[in-house]
Amino acid sequence: MSTMTERNFMLRDTKFVKSLETVGFALLIIGVVAGVASFLLMDADHEPLKRFFSSYLLAYTYFLGVAVTAMFFSALQYLVNAGWSALVRRIAEMFAPFIFVIILGFIPIVIDVFSTHQLFEWTHAGVMDPNAANFDPILKGKDWFLNPTFFVGRVIFYCVVWFLMYQTIVKNSLRQDEAGDDHTPTRRNKTLAAPMVILYALTISFAGIDLVMTLYPHWYSTMFGVQFFGGSFVATLSIIALFTVFLKEGGYLPQVTSEHYHDLGKMMFAFNVFWAYVSFSQFMLIWYGNLPEETVYFMDYRLVGGFEYFFYAIIVLHFALPFILLLPQANKRNPKILGGVAVLIILMHFIDLAWYVNPSLYHGHFTFGLQEISLFLFFAGMFVWMAASQFKSKKAVAVNDPFLEESVHLIS
């Protein structure tokens, strides 16, 4: 233990933090400039307001999944008494404060649900009114769930849960840094991790259902929450792996070895297969069941008009290529290949999510472009910049974690 606490893992003004700040700031500026340009240049016929909200929802949902799942990653390590991860767990915790941006970021979506009505069909005027021309009896039957009040209630519940997760799991991990050999904060986390993981499972599933699945409220899939979790988890693991590679190769975490890369690579591989398994199960059962109200979701929306190329790209670049690249042991231990696959998965998760969000809103029209990308870059900029501020003020390693010594000597 002494060897670890002697080292100061405060990265303060190191090149790593400075580069993170620069990259974050650059992404933020590019996002804003590209966003302003692309939305101002849009034809009024193409509904720029709707496009703004849909691009916002897409980028927002992506980073919601990543920030909340980063806390889940930390809780999971406590829950299963993981020894291997003590050295890299703090990297995930650095992403956790982004949930405050996520909590505030719900406000535009709530505004849309109540007043502008650009996104969700079930908020449109008349669909719940039996006398209106566009009355939809199917949506009327679902109005106990799909109504603005209950929606906001659920959103507040998610925010409270994520705030609690942050206050317990992440804060206790930080308290352990100062607590020396008194392991009370770690013991508390071990107890709290179990209920927090259950609450996480509920909130991430329902957040995925509320934000993405209800964009096309006639369709339903019991797999949807799990597939949103799987995609978010593999993207989060990729971001953790990428940061680990940068920290190790920059010389800030000399204790990280190819054994840690190997274990991170194994988790990325496993959860990429998990995500593919769940996504394919959803698709295959609908193909086989061949029920019109279910197949329309793919046949008329997602496999036509240009979105079918997203589908092929997801199969090849999100599943097949990472599968082949991460299969050999030597590749998982190679920082260049591991980092490269991580970048690929990070980008492809965005394409995967866009393939679920955009077709629901732009029926039959291929809609994906600078607007989506600029808001993604804007959110990515905030995310990286926030991570930089965390690395500036907190230790990059959980220095007093009882498992740290085990993690340093990890042999996988």
Partner 1 sequence: MDEQTLTQESGTRTIAAADAAGVNKDDVIAVLGNFTDPDKLTHAAQEIHAAGFVDFDIYTPYPVHGLDKAMGLPKTKLPLFSIGGAAFGLANAIFLQWWTATIQYPLNIGGKPYFSPWFGMPVMFELTVLLCALTTVFVMFGLMCGLPKWWHPLQDDEGFRKAVDDTHVVSIEAADARFTVESATALLGRLGADDVRVVTA
Binding stretches for partner 1 (CB under 8 A): 280, 283-284, 287-288, 290, 329, 411-412
State the chain's maximal CA–CA distance in angstroms. 75
> What is the C-alpha separation between 23 and 112, in angstroms, rounded?
31
* Closest approach of partner 1 to the CB of residue 287, in Å: 5
262 close to 333: Cβ distance less than 8 angstroms? yes
Which pair of tokens denotes residue 237?
């693991």
* Closest approach of partner 1 to the CB of residue 403, in Å: 15
CB closer to partner 1 out of 66 and 278: 278
Query: 162: closest CA among 117, 103, 118, 224?
Result: 103
CB closer to partner 1 out of 47 and 300: 300
How many other C-beta atoms are found inside a 10 Å radius of the C-beta of residue 82? 15
CB closer to partner 1 out of 167 and 222: 222
* CA distances to 90, 282, 301, 351, 366 from 355, in Å: 32, 14, 10, 6, 10
* CA distances to 105, 210, 320, 406, 407 from 83, in Å: 35, 36, 30, 6, 5
Amino acid, single-letter form, for residue 369: G
CB closer to partner 1 out of 39 and 280: 280
* Closest approach of partner 1 to the CB of residue 409, in Å: 9
* Closest approach of partner 1 to the CB of residue 374, in Å: 36
Exposure b/e, 197-213, CB count within 10 A at least 16 = b: bebbeebbbbbbbbbbb
Terminal Cα-to-Cα distance of the chain (whole angstroms): 20
> What is the C-alpha separation between 24 and 22, in angstroms, rounded?
5
CB closer to partner 1 out of 84 and 120: 84
> What is the C-alpha separation between 35 and 7, in angstroms, rounded?
43
95 close to 387: Cβ distance less than 8 angstroms? yes
CB closer to partner 1 out of 220 and 280: 280
CB closer to partner 1 out of 279 and 371: 279
Q: Vertex 30, ends 62 and 383: CA angle to 5°?
A: 35
* Closest approach of partner 1 to the CB of residue 412, in Å: 7
* Closest approach of partner 1 to the CB of residue 329, in Å: 8
73 close to 237: Cβ distance less than 8 angstroms? yes
CB closer to partner 1 out of 224 and 319: 319
CB closer to partner 1 out of 84 and 350: 84
> What is the C-alpha separation between 182 and 173, in angstroms, rounded?
12
* Closest approach of partner 1 to the CB of residue 315, in Å: 11
**φ/ψ (deg, to 5) at 204:** -70, -40
* Closest approach of partner 1 to the CB of residue 327, in Å: 8
* Closest approach of partner 1 to the CB of residue 136, in Å: 29
Amino acid, single-letter form, for residue 154: R
> What is the C-alpha separation between 387 and 96, in angstroms, rounded?
9
CB closer to partner 1 out of 279 and 374: 279
* Closest approach of partner 1 to the CB of residue 280, in Å: 7
